[in-house]
């Protein structure tokens, strides 16, 4: 394991923001995790697990500890009748796994095409879009418990998967390092195109039964129309989660904003649309303040237009949260993870 000192973190994030890590190492194996954790313990420093850096905002002063940059690689494919198991290293680029599964003609991950980040974080975040969440395909997650020096497989019933949520965001966060994830895919399947954007895309093209590759191509078009180009702008995608409220809270909210977008979230819960609130109530879609702003085609996306600091992003995020609460009584919580001392 090669431990480096004072490594700038901005290039390792899609926000392109963040000061240096006091120590930084690439993790290629379980042994390297053990070595890095032992190093941090010896120096009495905290650790941070970094994947593709597409869901983090790192403070301007950086991280005063040891960053474990997970690059655990490799995908194994196994066939059992109609079922295909893909077991991928936590550092595999998520969209490489999706691309390969689609090219091999397997069903299950195509709706999750073009999401940045790593396989490990796909389980942490339970990534989702266009009607599908990663947890629907996860067979098990392998983790290394750094406190108890144990490798174990965690099955979905113990993963506490929820909307952009899992056990790795709560239970001894940062202590459990995901090393591999196994996905269950199918040789035979059918497209999931119920989600509005996909339905509209295919009805325009009069495609009734799209292939996995056609779904993937559709998502490339749909996503590039809505999201900033990462080669030009810094962003971590949706900055806030859609607020999930009780039916009673939703009724109060909808009395005041009858035209607001909302969706059933199961049970006694309703999911409100954070971008709708930011756009229609706060009137903050497409605004720019200095080097930061909200994206004109998707108000939930905060953007670094170039040279922005973490403080500028946080100030804008706080203003959005404050105004949302003031005007709607709804609390917006960040989807993005804050790292570093002044966060």
Ligand X SMILES: Cc1cc2nc3c(=O)[nH]c(=O)nc-3n(C[C@H](O)[C@H](O)[C@H](O)COP(=O)(O)OP(=O)(O)OC[C@H]3O[C@@H](n4cnc5c(N)ncnc54)[C@H](O)[C@@H]3O)c2cc1C
Among 19, 20, 51, 340, binds ligand X (CB under 6 A): 51
**From residue 4 to residue 43, what is the string marking binding to ligand X with x (rule CB under 6 A)?**
----------x-----------------------------
Query: Is 96 noted as a catalytic residue in this protein?
Result: no
User: 238, 265, 285, 312: which is the annotated catalytic residue?
Assistant: 238
Nearer to ligand X by Cβ, of 178 and 185: the residue is 178
Q: How far is the CB of 187 from ligand X (least distance, A)?
A: 26
Query: Rule CB under 6 A: is residue 89 a binding residue for ligand X?
Result: no
Among 17, 40, 219, 236, binds ligand X (CB under 6 A): 236
The span of 77-85, 125-133, 189-197, 256-264 binding ligand X (CB under 6 A) equals 125-133
User: 164, 176, 182, 216: which is the annotated catalytic residue?
Assistant: 164
Among 67, 109, 137, 177, binds ligand X (CB under 6 A): 177
**From residue 243 to residue 282, what is the string marking binding to ligand X with x (rule CB under 6 A)?**
----------------------------------------
User: The tokens of 255 are what?
Assistant: 């009395």
Nearer to ligand X by Cβ, of 124 and 253: the residue is 124
The full 3-state SS of the chain, as one line of letters, equals CCCEEEEECHHHCCCCCCCEEEEEEEECCHHHHHHHHHHHHHCCCCEEEECCCCCEEECCCCEEEEEEEECCCCEEEEEECCEEEEEEECCCEHHHHHHHHHHCCCECCHHHCCCCCEHHHHHHHCCEECCEEHHHCEEEEEEEECCCCEEEEECHHHCCCECCECHHHCCCCCCEEEEEEEEEEECCCCCCCCCHHHHHHHHHCCCCCCCHHHHHHHHHHHHHHHCCCCCCCEEEEECECCCEEEHHHHHHHHHHCCCCCEEECCCCEEEECHHHHHHHHCCCCCCEECCEEEECCEEEEEEECCCCCHHHHHHHHHHHHHHHHHHHCCCCCECCEEECCCC
Query: Is 6 noted as a catalytic residue in this protein?
Result: no
Query: Is 269 noted as a catalytic residue in this protein?
Result: no
Among 19, 120, 210, 275, binds ligand X (CB under 6 A): 120
User: How many chain residues are in contact with ligand X, going by CB under 6 A?
Assistant: 32
The residues of the shown chain that bind ligand X, judged by CB under 6 A, are: 14, 49-56, 70, 90, 115-118, 120-122, 124-125, 127-129, 168, 177-178, 227, 230, 235-237, 337
| Residues belonging to the active site | 164, 238, 335
């Amino acid at each position: 394991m090669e431990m480096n000192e004072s490594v700038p973190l901005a290039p390792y994030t899609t926000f392109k923001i963040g000061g240096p890590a006091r120590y930084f190492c690439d993790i290629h194996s379980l042994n390297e995790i053990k070595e890095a954790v032992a190093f941090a313990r010896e120096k009495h420093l905290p650790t941070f697990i970094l994947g593709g850096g597409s869901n983090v905002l790192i403070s301007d002063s950086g991280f005063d500890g040891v960053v474990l940059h997970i690059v655990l690689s490799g995908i194994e494919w196994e066939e059992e009748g109609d079922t295909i198991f893909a077991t991928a290293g936590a550092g595999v680029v998520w969209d490489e796994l999706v691309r390969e599964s689609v090219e091999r003609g397997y069903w299950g991950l195509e709706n999750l095409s073009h999401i940045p980040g790593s396989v490990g974080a796909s389980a942490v975040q339970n990534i989702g879009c266009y009607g599908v969440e990663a947890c629907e395909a996860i067979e098990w997650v392998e983790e290394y418990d750094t406190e108890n020096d144990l490798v174990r497989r965690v099955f979905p019933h113990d993963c506490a998967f929820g909307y952009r949520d899992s056990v790795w965001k709560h239970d001894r966060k940062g202590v459990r390092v995901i090393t591999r994830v196994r996905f269950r895919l199918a040789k035979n399947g059918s497209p999931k195109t119920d989600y509005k954007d996909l339905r509209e895309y295919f009805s325009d093209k009069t495609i009734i039964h799209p292939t996995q590759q056609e779904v993937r191509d559709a998502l490339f078009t749909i996503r590039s129309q809505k999201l900033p180009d990462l080669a030009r702008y810094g962003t971590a995608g949706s900055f806030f989660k859609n607020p999930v409220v009780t039916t009673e809270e939703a009724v109060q909210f909808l009395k005041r904003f009858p035209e607001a977008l909302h969706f059933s979230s199961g049970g006694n819960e309703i999911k409100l649309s954070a971008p709708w609130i930011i756009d229609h109530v706060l009137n903050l879609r497409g605004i720019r303040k200095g080097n930061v702003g909200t994206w004109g085609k998707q108000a939930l996306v905060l953007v670094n237009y170039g040279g922005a600091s973490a403080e500028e992003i946080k100030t804008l995020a706080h203003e959005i949260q404050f105004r949302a609460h003031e005007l709607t009584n709804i609390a917006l919580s960040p989807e993005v993870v804050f790292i570093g001392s002044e966060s």
